[in-house]
Amino acid sequence: TRSLCDWSSDVCSSDLLRTPLAVLRSEAEVALRSPREPEQYRQVLETMLEEVERLARLADQLLFLSRKDAGLIPRVREPLELQKLAEDVAELMHLVAEAKSVTLRVEHLASCPVRADEDQLRRVLFNLVDNAIKFTPRGGTISVRCEPVGDQFGVIITDTGIGIGSEHLPHIFERFYRVDPSRSSEAGGTGLGLAIGRAIAEAHGGSIRIESTAGVGTAATLLLPPLSPTAASDT
C-alpha cells in the first residue's frame, strides 16, 4: 500500500479539489460584480453550498485515509450482529433507492456475530449500497443478504445495474478510480469509497469481493471472520 505522501499528489493533480474551488470562486466573483435580485443571490448560495458539501465529504474521506496510513485509527472491537447492521443500513438507504425508483430489498439475514468497529462497518456498507443505487438505472433491483460464506460471514449486495467492464474491475479499489468520471461526479462520487472500504475490511481481518458483468449487474460482498472461529460452519 502506498503512503499518504504518494497519493496526496493524486489529489493535487486531480480535479477533485480544483473543480469545486473554481466553481466557488467564480460563483462569488460573478455575484459580486453588480447588484442582484434576492432570488439570484439565493441561487448562487445554493450552488456554493452544493460545492461546499462535496468538499466537506472529500475532506472527511481524505482525513480518514490519512489517519489510516499513519496507523492512528482508534479501533473499537465489540461483538455485534452483522445482519442487524445490514438491516439498519438497508432501512436507511431505502428512501434513497425509492427516490430513484430502484427497489431495495432485504432477502435473507442469518445470524452473523462478528467483532468489529460498528461505525466503520456501517461506513463500508453505506458505500456498497450507495454504489448499487448510483449505478442501477430506474426500475432496477438491489438485494441485501447476510449469511455464512465459506468459513466467514458475508453481507452480499447485488444489483441489476450497469455493471463494471472486466478491464476496469482490477482498478476499482484504487483511490480516486471511477469507471466513468463524468457519470459518477453527477452523483457526487470521489472514487474513495471502495479504497476506504477495503482498508476497513482488511483491518478487521476480512475483505471485499466484487463480481460484475457489464450491462448485467454487480455483486459486492463484505467478508468478515466470525466472532467465534467455528460459528460460521455451525450455522
Note whether 7 binds ligand ATP by CB under 6 A.
no
Residue 192 interacting with ligand ATP (CB under 6 A)? yes
Length of the chain counted residue by residue: 235
Closest distance to ligand ATP from the beta carbon of 136 (Å): 7
Q: Could you say which residues in the range 115-144 bind Mg ion, by CB under 5 A? A: 127, 131
d(C-alpha 159, C-alpha 85), whole Å: 19
CB 169 → ligand ATP: shortest distance, Å? 9
Contact status: 191 vs ligand ATP (CB under 6 A): yes
| DSSP collapsed to 3 states, 3-64 | CHHHHHHHHHHCHHHHHHHHHHHHHHHHHHHCCCCHHHHHHHHHHHHHHHHHHHHHHHHHHH
Among 83, 131, 143, 221, binds ligand ATP (CB under 6 A): 131
Q: Which of these segments, 20-28, 42-50, 115-123, 189-197, binds ligand ATP (CB under 6 A)?
A: 189-197
Binding mask 135-164 for ligand ATP (x = CB under 6 A): x-----------------------x-xxxx
The terminus-to-terminus CA distance of the chain in angstroms comes to: 35
Min. distance of Cβ 80 from ligand ATP in angstroms?
Answer: 23
Radius of gyration of the chain (CA): 20
Q: How far is the CB of 1 from ligand ATP (least distance, A)?
A: 15
List beta partners, residue 66: none
Among residues 120, 143, 190, 221, the one that binds ligand ATP under rule CB under 6 A: 190
Residue 146 binds which of Mg ion, ligand ATP, none (CB < 5-8 A, kind-dependent):
none
Residue reference for cell 479539489: 17
Cα(24)–Cα(45) distance, integer angstroms: 9
> If binding is defined by CB under 6 A, does position 14 make contact with ligand ATP?
no
Does residue number 193 form part of the binding site for Mg ion (CB under 5 A)? yes
Outline where DSSP puts E strands in 101-140. 103-109, 113-116
Residue 198 found at the interface with ligand ATP (CB under 6 A): no
d(CA 47, CA 179): 26
**How many CB atoms are located within 10 Å of the residue 226 CB?**
20
| Positions that interact with Mg ion (CB under 5 A) | 127, 131, 193
| Positions that interact with ligand ATP (CB under 6 A) | 127, 131-132, 135, 159, 161-164, 172, 177-180, 184, 189-195, 218
